Amino acid sequence: MRQHIPSLVLLLCLLLFWEIMVRIMDVSALIVPALSAVLLVLWDGLITGFLWHHIWVTSVETLLGFILGCSIGFFCGVMLGEMVQLRRLLWPYVLATQVVPKLALGPIFIIWFGFGMTSTVVITALICFFPLVENTMTGLQTATPEKRDLFRMLGAGRWKTLVRLKIPAGLPTIMAGVRVAIVLALVGAVVGEFIGGSEGLGASIIAAQGMMDSTLMFALFIVITMLGILFYQITLLFERWLLRSWKKGKIL
Amino acid sequence: MVQQIGWLPMMTDTTFFNFDEASYAYENGNTILSAIDWLIPEGAFHCLVGRSGCGKTTLLKLAAGLMHPTQGQVRVKGQLVKGPSQKVGFVFQTPELLEWLPVIDNVLLPISLHRSVQAEDRDNALELLESVGIVDLAKRYPRQLSGGQQSRAALARALLRWPPALLMDEPFAALDAITREELQDDLLRLVSLRKTTVLFITHDITEAVYLGDQVVVMEQGRISRVVKIDLKAPRGINFRYESSFSAHCQSIREAMSKKMSEEV
């Protein structure tokens, strides 16, 4: 906890600076609302339950998309990592799914899956897919040639080598991909809602924009940021738990 | 005292490894091993010395079935080597422990890869760890161990199923002198228990003489000298300071350096 204190102090200073500057310079609430006003709207939204519904929707979309994208990404990463021929054949297409602007796909997803949650989940999954493919493929190459020879000497077949050696050896790399994915997932969900959502935090930002309600938008920014940090921290804790044996002995 | 024998390949029933004109070359024509003929009898401890890049490791991998000779053949107990076999254990230059498993599970790996581990397997593993002196570290993780302790764990793992033969690729090269001597004694004691056949690679002449009952010198992909070490076993600490020990070392060193000077 102690090492977080400077960070928190800096945050308080920045927030204070924001409030003071807005008041001194008499900035219009449409451009930058005062912190106090934003917090009031935020508090109000939480008390009345108006925000909770949107938080719930966005969270569900984020997590569904995240789990879907990570699972498919992991599976594809293993397949491509294990089969050189398949990798040569499919890699350009995997890369294409990543470089195509996912937002540009939004409208077609809306045609395919309709407005609402499904389209957003698909966009989110597509965003999470790539870091997992990439990191799984890289992770599977982590095990040294000597360790592979060891497994060959011990009579382990391809499947056992994959499950007992390559995946465990690559797990730290794979988990780094998961950490990237969870952050991208929230971005994906919010942006997905911009295009096709009627509910959720992203949709609420669009709605607030329609009402020229900058104060609400700032409140939503804060909510999304807090949600992102929360998801990231949960993933980090999960990773620490999963890799607890891997970390043993790093510091004696 | 130092006896150098000529090379007479002769298959007998008690031959464990049989290299028959075994050669290995890369596709670009680079020859690593040329026509190696070598018999290792069952229960023998043969050491292979040579300078870096002479093909020692390739030879060991041919015996292990990890690589295949481009010409000639390698046989284990009369059977053509087609791939890695459970009859042969391999100890690498580095311990190659799985860092996410505690020591005991690393030692049990040869079993847990094939079936569920029973209580008696666990007892066997602990007994082996006891005999290499690290039983109290069984629950530790590899990175919590020193280099010597890791090498001991790797040795225990290789011996878990008591393969009839062990192939060892400079397993103690990275250890300090005292630890290395301790491990050499442990190794000799353990392999003599079950008359394990050992092919041991090293670039350390004294290590080869101390461990082996035969030392083979390799030079640029060929066996250039075979030296029989007809000295008493068990060999203790004092053995290292006997004149016969030094005589053997000197003769092997001469065999290695003579070849080099002839080529210059």
CA dist B239 and B208 (Å) reads: 13
Tell if the CB–CB gap between B66 and A171 is shorter than 8 Å.
no
pLDDT of residue B6: 43
B161 phi and psi angles, rounded to 5 deg:
-95, 10
- The sign of the dihedral angle between the CA atoms of B20, B21, B25, B30 is positive
Tell if the CB–CB gap between B100 and A147 is shorter than 8 Å.
no
CA dist A177 and A132 (Å) reads: 5
Tell if the CB–CB gap between B96 and A155 is shorter than 8 Å.
no
Q: Which residues of chain A have pLDDT under 70?
A: 249-252
CA dist A217 and A32 (Å) reads: 10
**A116 SS3 class:** coil
Structure tokens at B22: 């075994």
pLDDT of residue B12: 57
Tell if the CB–CB gap between A249 and B141 is shorter than 8 Å.
yes
**B95 SS3 class:** coil
pLDDT of residue B258: 63
pLDDT by position in tens, chain B (length 264): 444 444 444 555 688 899 988 889 888 888 888 888 898 988 899 999 988 878 888 999 999 999 999 989 999 988 888 889 888 999 999 999 999 999 999 999 999 999 999 999 999 999 999 999 999 999 999 999 999 999 999 999 999 999 999 999 999 988 888 899 999 999 999 998 889 999 999 988 889 888 988 999 988 888 888 888 877 666 777 777 778 888 888 888 887 776 555 544
Three-state DSSP string of A52-65: HHHHHHHHHHHHHH
| Nearest-CB residue to B84 (from A153, A165, A252) | A153
pLDDT of residue B248: 84
Tell if the CB–CB gap between A150 and B114 is shorter than 8 Å.
no
Angle between helices A102-113 and A117-140 (to 10 degrees): 130
pLDDT of residue B2: 42
| Nearest-CB residue to B141 (from A152, A156, A245) | A245
- The sign of the dihedral angle between the CA atoms of A96, A97, A99, A100 is positive
pLDDT of residue A114: 84
pLDDT of residue B233: 62
Residues of B in contact with A252 (CB under 8 A): 143-144
| Nearest-CB residue to B113 (from A144, A146, A154) | A154
Which of B33, B3, B1 lies closest to B215, judged by CA? B3
Give the minimum alpha-carbon distance from B152 to chain A in angstroms, rounded to a whole number.
16
CA-based radius of gyration for chain B: 19
CA dist B82 and A150 (Å) reads: 16
